[in-house]
Structure 1
Amino acid sequence: MTSEHERMPVGTASPPGAAAAAAGSPGVRGLLARPGFRGLMLANVLSAVGFGTSRFVFVWLIGELTEWNPATAILGILIGLPPLLLSAWAGSLADRLDPRRFGVTTFALSAAGFAATGVLVATDTMTVPLAMVCALVTACAPSMLMPLLQALVPALVPPGQLMQGVAIQNLSMMVSTIAGVFLGGAVIQAFGVAAGFWLVTIAGLLGAAVFAATPLPGQAPARDRRGAIREGARIALGTEPLRSLLGITAVIGLAIATSTLLLPEFARDVLGTESLAASALNVFMSIGMMITSITIATRWTPSRPGLVLTVFSIVPLGGGLIAIGLSRAYLLTGLFGFMWGLAGGVVMTLLRTLTQVNTPPELMGRVMGLAAMAQNGAFPIGALLLVGLVSATSVSTAMVIAGFLCVACTSAIAVHPHVREL
């Protein structure tokens, strides 16, 4: 895969902070002036809007179809299975297929799946089992799209601005996902549940149109396709610092699963809040992540990104979950959530940047697929773990235990110098 700027080979890349300083980068405005990157970010926004809307609409649909509480947990596990099972394969496809054709096809398949779901809802033929199947099937295409969107960033930005590019992508994804949740709620209230699926369908069709019009790198040179996933996994999991970086990615997935699944129940049962106040806790976290993502994109480029990543992933990542689990006051919980979001923005931006800087260009899609599998695939695994912890203890205790587990895992990785010396 070629591009306007060659990606930095493994072992020869300058630290992102030093590279950015040396390049005298034109900043965020300069990146967004590049047609390829601008089109990719627009496609990223449409993908994230669809993701946020679909999650909310499916949860709302299940709530209307049944009052059986475990149904929502089962829905979460089913939605989390496609990233776990398909991300590595999608990354392999991203390495060898024409990115435009792959992206357009994936967006179109996503739109078709949500359109079919909307028809079932509109015709009153939807049932709980059918909704579960639709949730599983419609999660497949977006899960395959994410490794491609992430793998294209290094091909569309100058090497010295990779950290800025990653920060912009993370920021656009967070804002759009939150916007998707609110759009889903507004559309359902105004037009009904089926309209929520029409909204996601429109986002998918627009995404396909944007991807078709965006100047992207050409298809990768032909190579032997046999064992492509296995070869990528062998290199990524068998070499440092990629192995440690993917390990931290998996820990982040566990932390996200914990906050996503336990925070609403914690707010309701422990803090005694209503749904609006409970949802506001997620907003506090998201605002924190937005602030640090904007800061990294525009003002702050750490000279020792590996050391910063190590410190922030050990202390605030798991420590934030512990603090929230021990809190019994709403405002204090909101403050802890905001601080956890601040740390999360730093960790996710630096982690993606260092992973891509240390990945060979020909393996970029496969490594991004493995990263997506590690982070998003941790959702169903984390859900099963948390169900056991909550059943054996309580919601707050389970959150504290999960926090200590995150601290232990990241500390075990940090014992070795592979990441902190980057």
Structure 2
Amino acid sequence: MRFRTAMDEPERPGFRARTGRSLRYPNFRRFIAGHSVSVIGTWMQRVAQDWLVLELTGSAVDIGTTTALQFLPMLLFGAWGGVLVDRYDRWKLIVGTQVASGVLATVLAVTTLLGATNMPLVYVMAALLGLVTVIDSPARQAFVTDLVPPEDYVNAQALNSTINNTGRLVGPAVAGVMIAATGSGAAFGINALSFIAVLIGLARIDRSKLHQHRLLTRGKGQVREGLVFVWHHRELRACLFVVGVVGIFGQNFRVVLPVTATEVLGGDAATYGFLTGALGLGAVLGGVLAASRDRVTGKGLLSSLVLFGLVNLGAALAGVLPVALAAMVGLGIFNILFNTLARTLLQLHTPPEMQGRVMALNSLLFLGSTPIGAPLLGWVCEVAGAPVGFLVAGGTALLGAVIVARRLLTTSGGPPRGGAIPPPEI
């Protein structure tokens, strides 16, 4: 009898090959190329909008209210957005959302540069952008599965997140300096122009090479069908529960960080930009770590959630800029690991014709929970200070981990090589 040796085993790809394996697909490269430019402008606008509100009102509650209005449409209509993603061509939907986002950014840029911006206008623009996000967020998340096969979902999602968070690294740092020098209007203008790049990338995609999926025909009860599907999958229930916990209490950096920059660290817009940039640096590192993974498991998701909670508790103690920056890097790493692993677990356990609705529920809990969490965290920061905001974020993440630990520790990563979707566990 001949025993197997190490020479008989297929050689495992190196770290670099594993991390960039989705880039071998031309359509994914084209999508990422356009997105990498646009996302810088998007993060510049986020910083500029938060700082503009702080300049107009000086209130953390108003920052939270603006953020809440931007994500309230997701809370109200997110599930229906997922139905549209399952019904219609995802490529066309994304083209439409990018055009609409560019128009909104242009309006805000012009009014700010002319000195005509006021809080009612900021509120309206935030709400309109939220309506666009209802379709854009689940469409872009599901579109990744049109670009790569199932065995590369985790890698593609991680690379997509890495690009997004590279923008978080570059955009806020540039925006902070630009706002200090010229004001918020220029940052809004750059974001408006950046949408041209993503539209060019989408136009270059070879749509004949996309992984086809069966479009959902119009019918009654399709939102309910998605909810029932998730409810009957205990893995999906557990995953979406902790996504909701983190979305409500842990994701509101845009509320906590401006107050941290000014009241805790005694800084200005540039300080806020540096903090957000450090968060982005950590997210890039977390994205690279996620991209190198071959499998996604419930244990990995649970570990990233626990570490996210612990780092939040540590951030509450950061009273000087170097310590605060280090804490932001740690938050970025474990935040992006958690988000990427959660999205991939959901996709691996969901058939293609249901992915729009399931990813819409993910977006609803991840983004749509902001109208609840942002004003709440804004109030906490205004009454008790930014450190307490970090304590709330960390404590709730750890509590959520305890609640779902048993379920996630027995959850597999799904079919790693394109196997069948497992049946519901009732």
TM-score > 0.5 by shorter chain: yes
**1:288 matched to 2:279:** no
In the TM superposition, residue 361 of structure 1 has moved relative to its aligned partner by 1.0
Letter in 2 for 1:98: D
Structure 1 partner of 2:301: 309
Equivalent pair of 1:244/1:418 in contact (CA under 8 Å): no
Q: CA separation in 2, counterparts of 1:190 and 1:338?
A: 26
Equivalent pair of 2:48/2:187 in contact (CA under 8 Å): yes
Equivalent pair of 1:44/1:149 in contact (CA under 8 Å): no
Deviations 1:14-36 (A, max 9, x none): xxxxxx969x9964555223222
Structure 1 partner of 2:52: 61
Equivalence map 1:103-122=2 (5 Å): 103-122=94-113
Equivalent pair of 2:30/2:205 in contact (CA under 8 Å): yes
Q: CA separation in 2, counterparts of 1:393 and 1:189?
A: 28
Structure 2 partner of 1:13: none
Cα–Cα, structure 1 residues 175 and 143, in superposed 2: closer, same or farther, change >3 Å? farther
Cα–Cα, structure 1 residues 111 and 402, in superposed 2: closer, same or farther, change >3 Å? closer
Deviations 1:380-408 (A, max 9, x none): 21123324434664432342133212211
Cα–Cα, structure 1 residues 90 and 41, in superposed 2: closer, same or farther, change >3 Å? farther
Cα–Cα, structure 1 residues 54 and 388, in superposed 2: closer, same or farther, change >3 Å? closer
Deviations 1:120-161 (A, max 9, x none): 334444332122212221343244212111112122213222
Equivalent pair of 2:85/2:135 in contact (CA under 8 Å): no
Q: CA separation in 1, counterparts of 2:272 and 2:57?
A: 22
Q: Secondary structure at the match of 1:354?
A: helix
Letter in 1 for 2:300: V
Structure 1 partner of 2:392: 401
In the TM superposition, residue 379 of structure 1 has moved relative to its aligned partner by 1.9
Q: CA separation in 1, counterparts of 2:142 and 2:202?
A: 14
Equivalent pair of 1:414/1:420 in contact (CA under 8 Å): no
Cα–Cα, structure 1 residues 278 and 103, in superposed 2: closer, same or farther, change >3 Å? closer
Equivalent pair of 2:61/2:382 in contact (CA under 8 Å): no
Gapped runs of 5+ residues in structure 2?
1-10, 414-426
Equivalent pair of 2:32/2:163 in contact (CA under 8 Å): yes
Equivalent pair of 1:86/1:144 in contact (CA under 8 Å): no
Q: CA separation in 1, counterparts of 2:364 and 2:69?
A: 14
Structure 1 partner of 2:330: 339
Equivalent pair of 2:283/2:333 in contact (CA under 8 Å): yes
Deviations 1:333-362 (A, max 9, x none): 433333333322322222221111111111
90-99 or 225-234, which deviates more: 225-234
Equivalent pair of 2:176/2:272 in contact (CA under 8 Å): no
Letter in 2 for 1:114: A
Equivalent pair of 1:163/1:353 in contact (CA under 8 Å): yes
Letter in 2 for 1:410: A
Structure 2 partner of 1:262: 256
Structure 2 partner of 1:167: 158
Structure 1 partner of 2:316: 325
Q: CA separation in 2, counterparts of 1:237 and 1:283?
A: 38
Equivalent pair of 2:173/2:273 in contact (CA under 8 Å): no
Cα–Cα, structure 1 residues 358 and 57, in superposed 2: closer, same or farther, change >3 Å? same
Q: Percent identity?
A: 25
Structure 1 partner of 2:192: 201
Cα–Cα, structure 1 residues 404 and 71, in superposed 2: closer, same or farther, change >3 Å? closer
Gapped runs of 5+ residues in structure 1?
1-19
Structure 1 partner of 2:246: 252
Q: Secondary structure at the match of 1:214?
A: coil
Equivalence map 1:41-52=2 (5 Å): 41-52=32-43
Q: CA separation in 1, counterparts of 2:326 and 2:369?
A: 26
Q: CA separation in 2, counterparts of 1:392 and 1:197?
A: 31
211-220 or 359-368, which deviates more: 211-220
Equivalent pair of 1:117/1:134 in contact (CA under 8 Å): yes
Q: Secondary structure at the match of 1:241?
A: helix
Cα–Cα, structure 1 residues 199 and 393, in superposed 2: closer, same or farther, change >3 Å? closer
